[in-house]
Structure 1
């Protein structure tokens, strides 16, 4: 495995097993992942929350079982935020999608097996262009996996965010009519999903950022003031771990654009 780019704020987060257990409900409010029973899996999560994404992915795969979830999350978050080579990024997303699909077969009731497949295929689709992804039939897979995530874990805020973003991006690319008829996407559904996500996890910087992006995609400049307010709120969030730090920094970049 090639060496991954390091998290730029290494050392800023220093969870251990005890402090992670204490902060688990807050850190996993977005993905509803249960606290792992196996010490090896908990240790992989310690590495993830501290920003050691490559070591977290390796430790999760080695632990197996629900360690696959931390491996998938570490790989997907790393690919999304820190990998600079486009081909490597797409390869990593495809790896996550395949690992998550295998996990679904073994554990069909594991909500995050469905979520990480959807997340990875969604980001892969953005990488190759949403239009191409839809032409390849990835849209139905992403939508179906996110809907299954929410069915299995109704309070999964991150799945609500991702499904809201999916509806918004498809409408942005193909329009409301074709979007509704061909892909079953609707503007009102998108906005409702974002709102629900922020009800479930009010402090989510990524939730605020994606809601703002969706709002502008769906309703244009008339929502720009509201969107800017959401970007500002996201940028002002106090991150508790490495992933949240990357989410907050992305919101700050959006504000500068």
Structure 2
């Protein structure tokens, strides 16, 4: 997307420079269980990637860690376009941040329903790709379900049923919880299912 609407509220309390992001991480991600993107975490993920997934992000764990931290800093400060741009530069490792940023932006800041639905569809497509390349990442499954659910809420019930969205959402939530049983947001979503 070329033009992102600005976050309309004061986000100064969510500008996490330097070590403050790591310090606040557990509080910020208690619900989605996304691990802090340290160099060691990035390296452990890179070690488990196949060639296709690795090709999407490169092999510099320190650089990827910095890129992911920049993406998450932008997300938390409400700079969703910057979050997606920075996340994309980290390849598939940035998919959680990109899908979350797109979904939150679409829900609260999209100009109209048409833009909102297009953004959800983009995030769903990204989520499907992330599931293929990072099948063991709980976030790949969760943000796929999250954006499917949001799209489903914005279209007719008949269309959602024809597309089998409910079953796809449940499958993704179950897959997320198999990989991260403490994922509070997935439990909440499954409870509302």
TM-score norm. by structure 1 comes to: 0.62
In the TM superposition, residue 10 of structure 1 has moved relative to its aligned partner by: 4.2
Which residue does the alignment assign to 2:53? none
Which residue does the alignment assign to 1:76? 103
Alpha-carbon contact 1:36-1:66 (below 8 Å) kept? no
Relative to structure 1, the CA distance from residue 10 to residue 3 in structure 2 (aligned partners, 3 Å threshold; closer, same or farther) is farther
Relative to structure 1, the CA distance from residue 133 to residue 29 in structure 2 (aligned partners, 3 Å threshold; closer, same or farther) is same
Q: CA RMSD in A?
A: 1.2
Q: Which runs of 5+ in 1 are unaligned?
A: 167-257
Are 2:37 and 1:36 aligned?
A: yes
**How big is each residue's C-alpha offset from its partner over 1:115-134, in whole Å with a ceiling of 9 and x where there is no partner?**
01111111101100334202
Q: Which runs of 5+ in 2 are unaligned?
A: 39-64
Which residue does the alignment assign to 1:27? 28
Match of residue 143, structure 2, among 73, 97, 116: 116
Alpha-carbon contact 1:111-1:150 (below 8 Å) kept? yes
In the TM superposition, residue 150 of structure 1 has moved relative to its aligned partner by: 0.8
**How big is each residue's C-alpha offset from its partner over 1:80-101, in whole Å with a ceiling of 9 and x where there is no partner?**
1111311110011011111111
Return structure 1 stretches of 4+ with deviation > 3 angstroms: none
In 2, Cα distance between equivalents of 1:158 and 1:11: 23
Larger gyration radius, structure 1 or structure 2: 1
With CA pairs under 8 Å and 6+ residues apart, which has the higher RCO, 1 or 2? 2
Alpha-carbon contact 1:32-1:155 (below 8 Å) kept? yes
Match of residue 187, structure 2, among 145, 160, 185: 160
Q: Which moved more, 1:106-115 or 1:157-166?
A: 157-166
Are 2:126 and 1:99 aligned?
A: yes
Which residue does the alignment assign to 1:6? 6
In 1, Cα distance between equivalents of 2:6 and 2:183: 29
In the TM superposition, residue 65 of structure 1 has moved relative to its aligned partner by: 3.1
In the TM superposition, residue 8 of structure 1 has moved relative to its aligned partner by: 0.7
Within-5 A mapping of 1:66-215 = 66-166=93-193
In 2, Cα distance between equivalents of 1:68 and 1:15: 20
Alpha-carbon contact 2:92-2:133 (below 8 Å) kept? no
In 2, Cα distance between equivalents of 1:4 and 1:10: 17
TM-score norm. by structure 2 comes to: 0.82
Alpha-carbon contact 1:10-1:51 (below 8 Å) kept? no
In 1, Cα distance between equivalents of 2:157 and 2:166: 9
